[in-house]
């Protein structure tokens, strides 16, 4: 495929183009194999969308709306827009940003990224730390899944194997980032566990999950399960089997790779793709303070956790653990989203909560999510 890399963030495209120069981009796979290639162009011009059969958005989810709006005037009918990951409510945001034009497009929401990866030399080299065995994706409209699947699986290769999920709501509620990232951050840095002083070393993120953090994550995942069961009760025939627990998510995505997969904590502690990954920190006089404005909170709270809390509020599902983590997290990121336990703060419009798009009733949500 002719391939174009697009970045609308500041002057990133120009810097990336300069960093790469005439060289190929170098990717080291988790097998040790090195793949070299390069895009036909690196640009900040959204009009290249007019040339695209497929647009793959692998940008932070808080930027999805910006890209949807920028590409919309140039997209041809039938264009596939694949979000990796879609995070929560991606399909609803896509429809809201494209308006009437959305019905002529194909939206494919992936549950997560296909790989755990990090760049090793900005703009030039990256390394894949671990590849998921399978990855779920849902397509709107569902009838277009075979077309979308063929294109995306062809680009990904054999692994991860793309598996069809019945609807994008299942992908939204399955979103692991909405629970894992804020939950682990809370588990390590909440007032109950941290005295506010710098630490000697960056704590391990996934491998450092202990009993308290696991209890937070178990509380969060239990509340999301309650939302899924309530939606299935209210919408006859709705299949949310893919909106599974966090423990089951690890078993689905990393089967056979974790020496201890009996518990959620065991899965996170022994996943080889997580080896050595630490909490985001800022160095301070040879010690470390947590970066509480890192994407684990700045992105995953507004575009993940807020969707869950907002939908739970509409459904009348109690969410005490989500309330506790969200109240702490919104202070960390300097936003007012939840006020007195309700999703009505002045920054609600910056989130993926249904309330941000004017959705406050069950019927309104069912219609917006295309479940009616």
Calculate the CA 206 to chain-centre distance: 17
Q: What pLDDT is recorded for position 182? A: 98
Question: What would the DSSP string read from start to end of 217-283?
Answer: HHHHHHHHHHHHHHHHHHSTT---TTS--HHHHHHHHSTTT-S--SSHHHHHHH-GGGTT-B--EEE
pLDDT tens for the chain, 372 residues: list them. 799 999 999 999 999 999 999 999 999 999 999 999 999 999 999 999 999 999 999 998 889 999 999 999 999 999 999 999 898 999 999 998 999 999 999 999 998 889 889 999 999 999 999 888 888 999 999 899 999 999 999 999 999 999 999 999 999 999 999 999 999 999 999 999 999 999 999 999 999 999 999 999 999 999 999 999 999 999 999 999 999 999 999 998 888 999 999 999 999 999 998 999 999 999 989 999 999 999 999 999 999 999 999 999 999 999 999 999 999 999 999 999 999 999 999 999 999 999 999 999 999 999 889 887
The answer to whether the CB of 110 falls within 8 A of the CB of 136 is yes
Distance between CA atoms of residues 246 and 221, nearest Å: 6
CA nearest to 244, candidates 130, 112, 360, 116:
112
By CB atoms closer than 10 A (0-12, 13-18, 19+), residue 304 is buried
**Bridge partners (DSSP) listed for residue 290:** 281
Residue 202's φ and ψ, nearest 5 degrees, are -70, 120
Q: What pLDDT is recorded for position 372? A: 77
Active site residues: 181
Distance between CA atoms of residues 223 and 283, nearest Å: 35
């Amino acid at each position: 495929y002719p391939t174009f890399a697009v970045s609308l963030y500041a002057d990133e495209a120009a810097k990336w183009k300069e960093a790469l120069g005439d060289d190929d981009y170098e990717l080291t796979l988790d097998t040790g194999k090195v793949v070299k290639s390069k895009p036909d162009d690196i640009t900040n011009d959204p009009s290249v969308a007019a040339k695209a059969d497929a647009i793959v958005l692998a940008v932070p989810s808080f930027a999805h709306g910006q890209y949807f709006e920028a590409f919309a005037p140039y997209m041809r009918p039938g264009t596939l827009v694949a979000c990796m990951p879609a995070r929560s409510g991606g399909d609803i945001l896509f429809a809201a940003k494209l308006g009437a034009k959305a019905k002529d497009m194909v939206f494919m929401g992936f549950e997560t990224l296909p790989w755990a990866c990090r760049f090793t030399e900005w703009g030039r080299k990256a390394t894949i730390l671990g590849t998921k065995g399978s990855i779920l994706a849902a397509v709107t409209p569902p009838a277009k899944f075979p077309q979308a699947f063929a294109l995306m699986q062809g680009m990904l290769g054999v692994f991860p194997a793309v598996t069809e999920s019945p609807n994008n709501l299942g992908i939204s509620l399955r979103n692991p980032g909405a629970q894992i990232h804020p939950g682990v951050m809370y588990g390590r840095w909440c007032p109950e566990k941290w005295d506010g002083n710098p630490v000697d070393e960056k704590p391990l993120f996934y491998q450092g999950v202990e009993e308290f953090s696991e209890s937070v994550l178990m509380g969060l995942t239990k509340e999301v399960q309650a939302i899924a069961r309530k939606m299935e009760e209210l919408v006859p025939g709705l299949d949310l089997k893919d909106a599974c627990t966090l423990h089951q998510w690890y078993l689905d995505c990393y089967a056979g790779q974790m020496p201890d997969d009996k518990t959620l904590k065991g899965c996170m502690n022994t996943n080889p793709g997580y080896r050595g990954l630490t909490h985001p920190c800022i160095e301070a006089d040879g010690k470390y303070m947590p970066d509480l404005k890192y994407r684990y909170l700045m992105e995953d709270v507004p575009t993940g956790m807020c969707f869950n809390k907002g939908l739970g509020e509409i459904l009348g599902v109690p969410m005490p653990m989500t309330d506790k983590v969200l109240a702490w997290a919104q202070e960390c990121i300097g936003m007012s989203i939840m006020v007195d336990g309700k999703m009505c703060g002045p920054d609600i419009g910056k989130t993926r909560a249904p309330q941000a798009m004017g959705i406050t009733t069950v019927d309104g949500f069912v219609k917006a999510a295309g479940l009616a």
